[in-house]
């Protein structure tokens, strides 16, 4: 959530919001005015969830499809149009007639479709632009709206709306998984595991895996991973799921192999430091001789970290704009 978005909301409607009671905030983020007392926040992305907790908000990763009735609602728009729309409808349905809904987002992000939706539903929408963001205020009217599905199915996988590779397996992850065949063994971890595609590929291709731990910051993706891997539950391979910010709260454990397609975006911005932090976590937790299998866009600058932290690394593939790298600790 950009700082400009929350500043814009504060500038447009902060004073009014401070006077309201029993609010709900979806895709929540700490707000620069006094409202922790009257808000229940939802935030599935672990780093922002932790910032909310630290700032004194009541926060859950998921408040359910049907929210308890609220006196007012705040929706912060993120990158996914579908998820923004879903959050708007959940918030709208939780309000009594006339209850105010406040929406804010970056002007080059998902705010415009929400503005249109609010106009269709409420007629009158107050709009307050500031910086590169826009804040809106509308009032609930009419009947409750039908909620679009929160999960999609693709290639036999359950995928949450708004998660990474919502439309089905990512081409870079497919390329990495095509290099697993019997190469992984022992205690494994999947860093930034998403909805479980790489873990599923690893379990299918490598019978010598004894356990695999999934670490993922997006609560909704991790819940879907539990569904996608349910066929392996109770089998010989131990599988565990960790809702975790890999860059700040990873607890080191001895691993023989790590697989990952690390994130390299925060919002719309490319942040290669995020991928480098994943490489550092992998290097710190692998046993001597342990192996890291990773994929990345071929232009991302990860080799310096690999050569500094690993005994040896090599490129297993360079295809379709992606590179598959194997590094030995």
Ligand X SMILES: C[S@@+](CC[C@H](N)C(=O)[O-])C[C@H]1O[C@@H](n2cnc3c(N)ncnc32)[C@H](O)[C@@H]1O
Q: What CA–CA distance (Å, rounded) separates 283 from 290?
A: 9
**Contact footprint for ligand X (CB under 6 A):** 47, 164-165, 170, 173, 192-194, 197-198, 215-218, 221, 245-247, 261, 263
Nearest to 3 by CA among 81, 106, 126, 109: 106
CB of 292 to ligand X, least distance (A): 14
Of 12 and 192, the one with the shorter C-beta distance to ligand X is 192
CB of 201 to ligand X, least distance (A): 9
Nearest to 251 by CA among 205, 296, 285: 285
Helix axes 111-122, 81-94, angle to 10 degrees: 30
CB of 224 to ligand X, least distance (A): 10
CB of 20 to ligand X, least distance (A): 32
Of 49 and 102, the one with the shorter C-beta distance to ligand X is 49
Of 7 and 247, the one with the shorter C-beta distance to ligand X is 247
Of 117 and 189, the one with the shorter C-beta distance to ligand X is 189
CB of 193 to ligand X, least distance (A): 5
Q: Parallel, antiparallel, or unpaired for β 58-60 and 126-130? A: unpaired
**DSSP readout, 94-139?**
HSPTT-EEEEEEETTTTHHHHHHHHHHHHS--EEEEETTEEEEEEE
Q: Hey, CA dihedral for 75, 78, 84, 90, is it positive or negative? A: negative
Of 10 and 175, the one with the shorter C-beta distance to ligand X is 175
């Amino acid at each position: 959530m950009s700082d400009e978005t929350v500043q814009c909301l504060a500038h447009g409607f902060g004073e009014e919001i401070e006077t309201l009671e029993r609010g709900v905030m979806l895709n929540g983020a700490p707000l620069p005015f006094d409202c922790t007392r009257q808000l229940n926040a939802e935030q599935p992305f672990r780093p922002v969830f932790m910032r909310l907790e630290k700032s004194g908000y009541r926060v859950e990763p998921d408040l359910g499809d049907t929210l308890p009735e609220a006196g007012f609602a705040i929706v912060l728009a993120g990158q996914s149009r579908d998820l923004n729309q879903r959050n708007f409808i959940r918030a709208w349905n939780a309000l009594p007639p006339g209850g105010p809904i406040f929406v804010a987002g970056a002007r080059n992000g998902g705010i415009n479709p929400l503005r249109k939706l609010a106009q269709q539903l409420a007629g009158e929408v107050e709009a307050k632009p500031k910086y590169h963001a826009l804040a809106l205020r509308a009032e609930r009217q009419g009947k409750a709206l039908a909620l679009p599905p929160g999960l999609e199915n693709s290639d036999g996988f359950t995928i949450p709306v708004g998660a990474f590779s919502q439309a089905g397996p990512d081409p870079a992850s497919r390329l990495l998984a095509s290099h697993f065949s019997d190469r992984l063994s022992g205690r494994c971890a999947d860093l930034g595991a998403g909805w479980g595609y790489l873990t599923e590929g690893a379990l299918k291709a490598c019978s010598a895996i004894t356990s695999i731990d999934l670490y993922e910051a997006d609560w909704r993706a991790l819940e879907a991973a539990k569904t996608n891997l349910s066929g392996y539950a109770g089998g010989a391979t131990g599988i565990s799921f960790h809702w975790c910010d890999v860059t700040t709260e990873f607890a080191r454990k001895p691993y023989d192999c790590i697989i990952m397609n690390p994130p390299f975006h925060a919002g719309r911005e490319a942040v290669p430091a995020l991928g480098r932090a994943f490489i550092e976590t992998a290097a710190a937790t692998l046993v001597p001789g342990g192996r890291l299998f990773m994929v990345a866009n071929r232009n991302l600058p990860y080799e310096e970290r690999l050569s500094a932290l690993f005994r040896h690394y090599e490129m297993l593939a360079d295809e379709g704009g992606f590179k598959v790298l194997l590094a030995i600790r």
